[in-house]
Structure 1
Amino acid sequence: MKKKIKRIVIIVLIILVGIGIFSGVSYYRNSKAKDTTPLETVLEKSSDLTTQKLVITDVFECSKGKVPILTKNNFLVRYQTTVTAGFDVNEAEIKETDNKITVTIPHCTIDEDSIKIKSDDIKIYDTGFAILNVNQDDLLEVVSEAESRAKKQANSSEYGLLDAADANAVNIVRGLFENVADGREVVVEFK
């Protein structure tokens, strides 16, 4: 009787161990399949990747009109805008080997749309006297001049916007790929 109970207990234990092993292997296979992400999709979800922002605040003197006292108006223009730089991830190229992932990206450029200055971002301070005020066309020229100045400042090496954007792009892309690299080395280089 004791031998029969021992055999039944051993058979039940063998069945439970088998079920446990089968469940563990199934779970491991399913979790491995779910965690596998094609490397191309890591970047495709982003489209344009902004890697650096620069807030520009500037004041410049402007003069509109030609006839002193009657139409000539001198004023100061103060504006603020945020300029962004980044790259189009659709231009990135990915090469993988067993021990390395190489991602080649374009150098960052300034997003021209980010330079648009809104009327809320511009203040005009009158420094001269004119009988006739500045008209709307003159104000549009002032906004255009402010955008041109912002673009020039963003492109200047003094602020280093594009250099910082490139450095951040390397760090961001490396970080994205290290999450799915499975221990492989991630190398980011420019075209």
Structure 2
Amino acid sequence: MKTKAKIIIAAVLAIAISIGSIAIYKHITGPKEESIPLETTLEDAAELTTQKMIISDVFRSTKGEIPLINKNRFLVQYKTTVTAGLDVQKAVIKETDDKIQISIPHCTVNEDSIKIKSSDLKIYDTNFAIMSIDKEAVMELVAEAEKKAKEKAGSDEYGFLENADKNAKKVIKGMFENVSNGKEVIVSFQN
């Protein structure tokens, strides 16, 4: 009985020493927190977002292939949020004794806001069965979906940029009326 206990204790000690040795080795050879380069960039933002639109759309794609079926025509559904606004640094302000005139640029689609993740895509064959495709084709589909979202946001169909302009005038006027001391505030667009 004593020899079995000694063998068990020896085995437990060997396992504990092995695990401890591996942990010490990983600690010594692993990257130190100080050695991982961290970058923080602080930039002045001068953009005023005045409109947001959520786009959910389906389009027919011919990018890539579906494995095993070797099919390159399928439907792609995506969803994304797009914003529009203006660069307030481009505003021109003229003040007289009785009024404040502010000339602002027209709003544009913020291309950085159009970010579609592969998880935001659903791919269907023409029989509406969910399919999976290779990673390279997914990247092409994400780029194609982002392009389509930008086109939709920039089109006159939804009045997205027109509404962004209306909201920009309203916001800028409201900001200046609060500090105008009774002067008339006039907001117009630059040509």
Range of TM-score over shorter length: 0.5 to 0.7
Asked whether the equivalents of residues 46 and 89 of structure 1 are also in contact (C-alpha less than 8 Å), the reply is no
The Cα shift of 1:153 comes to: 0.6
Question: What are the superposed Cα offsets for residues 24-79 of structure 1, whole Å, 9 maximum, x if unpaired?
Answer: xxxxxxxxxxxxxxxxxxxxx97210011111100122244579965224432111
Matched, 1:48 2:11: no
Paired position in structure 2 for 1:82 = 81
The Cα shift of 1:172 comes to: 0.4
Structure 1 unpaired stretches of 5+: 1-44
Task: Name the CA distance, whole Å, in 2 between partners of 1:73 and 1:151.
Answer: 24
Paired position in structure 2 for 1:58 = 57
Task: Name the CA distance, whole Å, in 2 between partners of 1:67 and 1:96.
Answer: 63
Paired position in structure 2 for 1:109 = 108
Whichever structure has more helix as a proportion of its residues is: 1
RMSD of aligned C-alpha atoms?
2.5
Identity of counterpart residues, as a percentage?
56
Higher deviation after alignment, 103-112 or 58-67: 58-67
Tell me which amino acid in the other structure corresponds to 2:98. Answer: N
User: How do 1:82-161 residues align onto structure 2 when only pairs under 5 Å count?
Assistant: 82-127=81-126, 134-161=133-160
Higher deviation after alignment, 64-73 or 180-189: 64-73
Q: Decide which structure has the larger Cα Rg and report it.
A: 1
* TM-score (normalised: structure 2): 0.68
Paired position in structure 2 for 1:184 = 183
Asked whether the equivalents of residues 73 and 134 of structure 1 are also in contact (C-alpha less than 8 Å), the reply is no
Q: Secondary structure at the match of 2:180?
A: coil
Structure 1 residues 66 and 101: CA distance shift in structure 2, 3 A: closer
Structure 2 unpaired stretches of 5+: 1-43
Structure 1 residues 69 and 56: CA distance shift in structure 2, 3 A: same
Task: Name the CA distance, whole Å, in 2 between partners of 1:143 and 1:169.
Answer: 30
Tell me which amino acid in the other structure corresponds to 2:124. Answer: Y
Q: Structure 1 segments of 4 or more deviating over 6 A? A: 66-69
Q: Secondary structure at the match of 2:152?
A: helix
Asked whether the equivalents of residues 65 and 134 of structure 2 are also in contact (C-alpha less than 8 Å), the reply is no
* TM-score (normalised: structure 1): 0.68
Asked whether the equivalents of residues 65 and 71 of structure 1 are also in contact (C-alpha less than 8 Å), the reply is no
Number of matched pairs: 144
The Cα shift of 1:123 comes to: 1.8
Task: Name the CA distance, whole Å, in 2 between partners of 1:139 and 1:188.
Answer: 45
User: How do 1:30-45 residues align onto structure 2 when only pairs under 5 Å count?
Assistant: none
